[in-house]
């Protein structure tokens, strides 16, 4: 028998600090697999954000620059402009990208920076203990929305994949989930497609991944996975919102 599933080379063989069932681990693996597949590990510069994924450099065997909270797309812009031959991705949470870093993501996308953004939407601020995020669902209770998110006061959860698809500089924008084997396999395809754009120098690519935070949702990992299917996907539909290799022209 042959080994048909192995740890990707770009992912270090170490224990992660993620909570049991936390899908940051799954997303890390999918990104590492894509790096392996494109053969770009040796020329990749990852840009870490602030959130539970802050230890990107501890898990990926690649060069990493750590960005301040929300600023990863600006840092990645500087990196890519200074080293246009490198392969550059950011990895950001929903608080990081869709709240404090909104200006940076919108404008990096709109400039059509030749980078890939991996956006992990777990509808909460994981690292700081489960506060309300811009993606928190209406009615969802968090430590700062104890009565549930109130649309009238807090606004509706922001759909970043759709928002970014509107921008001229964006070549690719999609949303996936990793709550079932089928969705994981689809997510893998989509992440590779996103990287393909960068590999060919065809502009900004964006993948939103619906992900669980069992700890702050106060749910067991299996129940958290079910929530993704039952509550998140109906509001945040999976799909490709833009796939336009000529967006740059």
Partner 1 sequence: MGRIEIDEIRCKGCGICTVACPKQLIKLCDKANIQGYTPAEAVNQELCTGCALCAEICPDVAIKVFR
Partner 2 sequence: MSKRLFVKGNEAAAMGAIEAGCRYYFGYPITPQSDIPEYLSRELPKLDGEFIQAESEVAAINMLLGASACGVRAMTSSSSPGISLKQEGISYMAGAELPGVIINISRSGPGLGGIDASQSDYFQSVKGGGHGGYRIAVLAPNSVQEMYDLTMHAFDLADQYRTPVMVLGDSVIGQMKEALVPNPRPVRELPAKEWAVRGKSGGEQRIVKSLFLGDGELEAHNWRLHAKYRQMMEKECLSEEFETADATLLVTAYGSVARIAHTAVAMAREEGLKVGLFRPITLCPFPEEALKAAGQRAGRILDIELNTGQMVEDVRLAVGSGVEVSFYGRPPGAGSLPSPEELLDQIRKHYA
- Contact residues for partner 1, defined by CB under 8 A: 1-7, 11, 15-16, 18-26, 29, 178, 180-181, 184-185, 188, 214, 220-222, 225
Q: Give the up-direction half-sphere exposure of residue 41: CA atoms within 13 A in the CB hemisphere.
A: 16
Name the residue nearer to ligand TPP (CB basis): 196 or 216: 216
The C-alpha atoms of residue 207 and residue 89 are separated, in whole angstroms, by: 11
Query: What Å distances lie between residue 158 and 135, 138, 164, 235, CA to CA?
Result: 5, 11, 11, 10
**From the list 33, 47, 73, 94, which residue makes contact with Mg ion (rule: CB under 5 A)?**
94
Where do contacts with ligand SF4 occur on this chain (CB under 6 A)?
18-19, 22, 24, 52, 122, 126-127, 213-216
Count of C-beta atoms within a 10 Å radius of residue 20: 9
Name the residue nearer to Mg ion (CB basis): 125 or 241: 125
In angstroms, how far is the first alpha carbon of the chain from the final one?
A: 49
Q: Does 208 bind Mg ion (CB under 5 A)?
A: no
Where do contacts with partner 2 occur on this chain (CB under 8 A)?
40-45, 47-48, 54, 57, 61-68, 71, 74-83, 86-87, 103-104, 106-107, 111
> What six digits make up the tokens of 235?
């509001």
> What six digits make up the tokens of 14?
């170490």
For residue 70, the minimal CB distance to partner 2 (Å) is 9
Q: Does 145 bind Mg ion (CB under 5 A)?
A: no
- Window contacting ligand TPP (CB under 6 A); options: 28-36, 47-55, 157-165, 237-245: 47-55
DSSP 122-185: -SSBTTTTSB--TTPPBT--BTTBTT-B-HHHH-PPP-HHHHHHTSTTEEEEEEEE-SSHHHHH
Q: What is the size of the binding site for Mg ion (CB under 5 A)?
A: 4
Q: Does 22 bind ligand TPP (CB under 6 A)?
A: no
Rg (CA), the chain: 17
Name the residue nearer to Mg ion (CB basis): 22 or 88: 22
Footprint of ligand TPP (CB under 6 A) = 50-53, 69, 93-96, 120, 122, 124-128, 133
Footprint of Mg ion (CB under 5 A) = 93-94, 122, 126
């Amino acid at each position: 028998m042959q080994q048909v599933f192995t740890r990707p080379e770009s992912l270090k063989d170490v224990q992660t600090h993620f909570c049991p069932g936390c899908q940051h681990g799954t997303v890390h693996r999918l990104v590492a697999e894509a790096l392996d597949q494109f053969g770009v590990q040796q020329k990749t510069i990852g840009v870490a954000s602030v959130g539970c994924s802050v230890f990107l450099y501890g898990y990926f065997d690649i060069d990493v620059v750590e960005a301040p909270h929300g600023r990863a797309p600006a840092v990645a812009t500087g990196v890519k402009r200074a080293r246009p031959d490198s392969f550059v991705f950011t990895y950001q949470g929903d608080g990081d990208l869709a709240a404090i870093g909104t200006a940076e993501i919108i404008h990096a996308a709109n400039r059509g920076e030749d980078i890939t953004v991996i956006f992990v939407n777990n509808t909460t601020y994981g690292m700081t203990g489960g506060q309300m995020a811009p993606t928190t669902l209406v009615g969802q209770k968090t430590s700062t929305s104890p009565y549930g998110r109130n649309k009238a006061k807090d606004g509706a959860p922001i759909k970043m994949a759709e928002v970014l698809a509107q921008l001229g500089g964006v070549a690719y924008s999609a949303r996936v989930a990793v709550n079932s084997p089928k969705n994981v396999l689809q997510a893998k395809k989509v992440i590779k497609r996103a990287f393909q754009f960068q590999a060919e120098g065809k502009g900004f690519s964006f993948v939103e991944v619906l992900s669980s935070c069992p700890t702050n949702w106060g749910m067991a990992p299996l129940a958290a996975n079910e929530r993704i299917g039952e509550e998140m996907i109906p509001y945040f539909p999976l799909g490709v919102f833009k796939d336009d290799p000529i967006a740059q022209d």
